[in-house]
Chains A and B, each alone.
Chain A
Amino acid sequence: MLSLVLILIASLFFTGIIIRTKSISSGRKGPGIFQPVKDVWRLFKKGSVYSETTSFVFQIAPVVYFSSVAMAILVVPFGSTKGIISFDGDFIFFAYVLALGKFFSIISAMDTGSSFEGMGASREALYSMFAEPAFFILMGSFALLTGHTSFFGIFSTLHLGSYITYALGIMATFVLVMIAMIENSRMPIDDPKTHLELTMVHEVMILDNSGFDLGLILSTGYLKFAMYGTLIANLYIGELSLLYAIPAFFFIQFAFAVSVGIIESFMARYRMSHNPQFIFALSSVSLLIFLGVLLVLGKFV
């Protein structure tokens, strides 16, 4: 319950901080922190326009997308309190329910019959395919390390003690941050500000949504960001008491948002053809995390 509330609160200002950071680093003042929320609220009040070439898939997809992310949030724990749902192997449930949502957004993009959306859909599918082994190997390594297979079990028993577990923690943070950037289609994989069809990945999939649907999709994006931020925070606050854990959580979310803003301001997006190898590199780094876990456990002399 606690994690759900905290994620909802974090999602309110997360994207706003990113945009604010980008504006300040380019010398502008930028919109207010709650501007994205106000945008979503405005969209909820509007009506939707549906193209005649689309079918029912296009109409139900945003709802399915939103509910998948909502279900995924229910599984995420917070420090030493469980999520609302928690069972053994729930990180696999997490990955695949997110995949269900992504699947629906992909087929709704293809449902419109436009070649732009189809192109964005295929790229999105490719990047998710490469990011998936990275996530599983990472969570699997941590499951091996702690002996539990539920999110709650893993994070509550994760001790960061020796040098090598710190190194593993840092590498895991890197991998999770990069997966978060890929899933939310930010730099350096995808530029949310570009509107050239040659370079769009995620933006192009939602070109034809409008009104309430668009509002749902945007708010889903904010929730996803906050959710990944919670996962990263969990790596570090596993054993702290609630008094310290909640401020630490907000601090980590804030730091995460600011660093995303800084990365977006100072890095150019990678060449399209270099994206797959960058994403695959995450899987290789996860393999090294696996090797590190084996070393820690002494399964290797």
Chain B
Amino acid sequence: MIDVLLIVFIITLLYVSIANRIITYVKVLALQGFILFGVTYMQLQEINTLNLVLILLETIVFKAIAVPLFLDHLIKRNNITREAEPYIPNFLSLVITTIIIVVTILLANSVKDENLDKIFFIVALSTLFTGLYFIASRKKIITHVMGYLIIENGVFVLSLAVGNEMPMLVNLGIMLDIFASVLILGIFLNKIGDVFKDVDVDQLSNLKDY
């Protein structure tokens, strides 16, 4: 069942690369939060219950509910237009995302370790690189933040792969998630929305070597 959920997770990545509207990205992030909730519940059976309950709560409350709601609020408050403006046409994004997944599969094939469930490795790395590509290929600042959240999800999946032996790492990952998301989302996007009327990355090119 974990494999099925993780394959659905990759399908959401493909969907994100061809989506046109920003609301779709937010909905996909919420969906990823729910998928991760299911995967966490099934994977981390061996750590003590209190820790598990904490991690599950964090996944469902933070990733699946709080962050998408907050993003929604930000979009409405800053009057961000619906279109996600990419630099690269969607078709090419889809091709590149598929290539990323294929390359990750090939890379995972060359690993000779039996301790690791390969599917975690594939999902984590493809999510990471897709998130990076996402940041680099979109114009709006809020899509940069969403790309960062996608990277966070990928890191979480990877930490689940080792979570049974070292639950501290999963906790650290969650701390990173909350800290970075609160810092980036909460403080700066508010300020950026107020100061820069047009939340476009082109506005952020004033610091130059002039």
> A274 contacts which chain B residues (CB < 8 A)?
18, 20, 90
Most buried by A among B7, B90, B98, B122: B7
Interface residues of chain B: helix, strand, loop or mixed (majority): helix
A94 touches B (CB below 8 Å) = no
What 1/0 flags go to A267-291 for Cβ under 8 Å of B? 0000000101110110111011001
A242 touches B (CB below 8 Å) = no
Chain A residue nearest in CB terms to B101: A287
> B101 contacts which chain A residues (CB < 8 A)?
284, 287-288
Give the residue of A166, A281, A287 whose beta carbon is less than 8 angstroms from that of B102: A287
From residue B100, how far is it (CB to closest CB) to chain A in Å? 11
Do residues B18 and A281 form an inter-chain contact, with CB atoms below 8 A? yes
> A166 contacts which chain B residues (CB < 8 A)?
4
Interface size on B, residues (CB 8 A): 28
Do residues A300 and B119 form an inter-chain contact, with CB atoms below 8 A? yes
Most buried by A among B14, B97, B116: B14
Do residues B118 and A287 form an inter-chain contact, with CB atoms below 8 A? no
Do residues B114 and A301 form an inter-chain contact, with CB atoms below 8 A? yes
Known pairs A280-B95, A283-B98, A284-B94; A291 contacts B105 (CB<8 A)? yes
Interface residues of chain A: helix, strand, loop or mixed (majority): helix
How many A-B pairs have beta carbons closer than 8 Å: the answer is 58
> A171 contacts which chain B residues (CB < 8 A)?
7
A292 touches B (CB below 8 Å) = yes
> A276 contacts which chain B residues (CB < 8 A)?
91
The residues in A between 244 and 301 inclusive whose CB is less than 8 angstroms from any CB of B are: 274, 276-278, 280-281, 283-285, 287-288, 291-292, 295, 300-301
From residue A101, how far is it (CB to closest CB) to chain B in Å? 27
Interface size on A, residues (CB 8 A): 21
Do residues A167 and B4 form an inter-chain contact, with CB atoms below 8 A? yes
> B117 contacts which chain A residues (CB < 8 A)?
301
B109 touches A (CB below 8 Å) = yes
From residue B98, how far is it (CB to closest CB) to chain A in Å? 4
What 1/0 flags go to B92-121 for Cβ under 8 Å of A? 001101100110010011000010111100
> A284 contacts which chain B residues (CB < 8 A)?
14, 94, 97-98, 101
B199 touches A (CB below 8 Å) = no
Chain B residue nearest in CB terms to A283: B98
A164 touches B (CB below 8 Å) = yes
Tell me the bound Cα distance from A280 to B102 in angstroms: 15
From residue B154, how far is it (CB to closest CB) to chain A in Å? 17
Do residues A281 and B14 form an inter-chain contact, with CB atoms below 8 A? yes
The residues in B between 26 and 80 inclusive whose CB is less than 8 angstroms from any CB of A are: none
Give the residue of B3, B90, B94, B118 whose beta carbon is less than 8 angstroms from that of A292: B3
Chain A residue nearest in CB terms to B93: A277
Chain A residue nearest in CB terms to B18: A277
> Would you give 8 A-B contacts (Cβ < 8 Å), ordered by A?
A163-B3, A171-B7, A276-B91, A277-B90, A284-B94, A285-B11, A301-B114, A301-B118
Residues of A within 8 A of B (CB): 163-164, 166-167, 171, 274, 276-278, 280-281, 283-285, 287-288, 291-292, 295, 300-301
A-B pairs, 10 with minimum CB distance: A167-B4, A277-B91, A284-B98, A163-B1, A277-B18, A277-B90, A284-B14, A277-B94, A164-B3, A300-B118
